[in-house]
Chain A
Amino acid sequence: MSAPRVVVSGLGFVTSIGNDQRTVATSLRELRSGIERVDFLPGTDLPVKVVGTLKGFDTAAAQWPGWTWPEGYTFPRDLLRGMAPHGLYALCATEQLIADAKLTANELTADDTGMFCASAGSPRMLRQFVNQIHDSCGARIPPMGVVSTIAGTLNFNLAAHYGVRGAVAGFVSACASATQALGYACDEIKLGRQRRVLVIGGEDVNFESIFPFHGMRALSRNPDPARASRPFDRARDGFVGTGGSAALLLEEAEAAQGRGAPIYAELVGWGQSADGYNVANSDPDGRGLAVAMQRALASAHVAPAEIDYINAHATSTPVGDASEARALHTVFTSGGAHPAISSTKALTGHGLSFSGAMETAFCALALRDGFTPGAANLDDPDPVCEGLNLPRATLPTGPRMVLKNSSGFGGSNVCLVLRRWEN
Chain B
Amino acid sequence: MINAPVAQKRVQESLVGFPPRVTSSYLAFAESGDLTNLDVVVLGVLQFYLAKKPAVPLEEMAGTTRLVEDLGCDSLTMMDTVFMVETLFDIKLDDTELTQLGTLDELRAHLRRHVQGHTASAA
Contacts and interface: CB of A to CB of B under 8 A. Distances in A.
Interface residues of B, number: 17
B47 to A, nearest CB: 10
A62 B13 contact: yes
Nearest to B83: A140
A140 B90 CA distance: 13
Given A61-B16, A61-B17, A139 B48 contact: no
B49 A77 contact: yes
A78 B50 CA distance: 7
B76 interface: yes
Contact of A81 (B16, B75, B76, B92): B76
Interface in A121-167: 139-140, 142-144
A76 interface: yes
Nearest to B18: A65
A142 B76 CA distance: 9
Contacts of B51: 76-78
A139 B76 CA distance: 15
Given A77-B49, A81-B49, A65 B16 contact: yes
A78 B49 CA distance: 8
Given A65-B48, A77-B49, A77-B50, A140 B18 contact: no
Contacts of A76: 51
A66 interface: yes
Interface residues of A toward B: which range?
A: 10 to 19
B80 A81 contact: yes
B39 to A, nearest CB: 20
23 contacts: A61-B17, A62-B14, A62-B16, A63-B16, A63-B17, A65-B16, A65-B48, A67-B17, A76-B51, A77-B48, A77-B49, A77-B50, A78-B51, A81-B49, A81-B76, A81-B80, A140-B86, A142-B80, A142-B83, A143-B75, A143-B76, A143-B80, A144-B76
Interface of B: 13-14, 16-18, 48-51, 75-77, 79-80, 83, 86, 92
Interface of A: 61-67, 76-78, 81, 139-140, 142-144
Q: List 7 tightest A-B contacts by C-beta distance, closest first.
A: A66-B16, A65-B17, A78-B51, A66-B17, A61-B16, A143-B79, A143-B76
